[in-house]
Amino acid sequence: MLGFLINDQEKKEMEYIVKRELDEILFDLQDGRIDALVKRAMEDRYKVLFNIFKRVASSKECMKYIRTKTASRRDHI
């Protein structure tokens, strides 16, 4: 396990950057033109980024980015 210290400004910047990435992934996952294999890689990246996001964002902010199981299944159809 690794750890590092960041100040409030760095925390806010990290939260902002990760939110933008999560928004982009969620948008792209709904694009029917994207291949299922690529979507799988995007889902893996989403999971990693969401775990980072949970460490810096409030619970209220995290709730906005939680994917439901039906959304995940719908992406594969």
- The string of pLDDT tens digits covering residues 44-67 is 999 999 999 999 999 999 999 998
**Of 40, 47, 52, nearest to 15 (Cα)?**
52
Q: What token pair was written down for 75?
A: 């992406």
* DSSP-assigned letters across all residues of 42-71: HHHHHHHHHHHHHHHS-HHHHHTTPPPHHH
CA distances from 64 to 3, 5, 6, 12, 14 (A): 26, 26, 24, 17, 17
Give the model's pLDDT for residue 3: 84
pLDDT value at 75 more than 60: no
Global confidence as pTM: 0.81
| Domain residue extents for the chain | 8-76
User: CB-side exposure of 73: number of CA atoms within 13 Å?
Assistant: 3
- The string of pLDDT tens digits covering residues 16-39 is 999 999 999 999 999 999 999 999
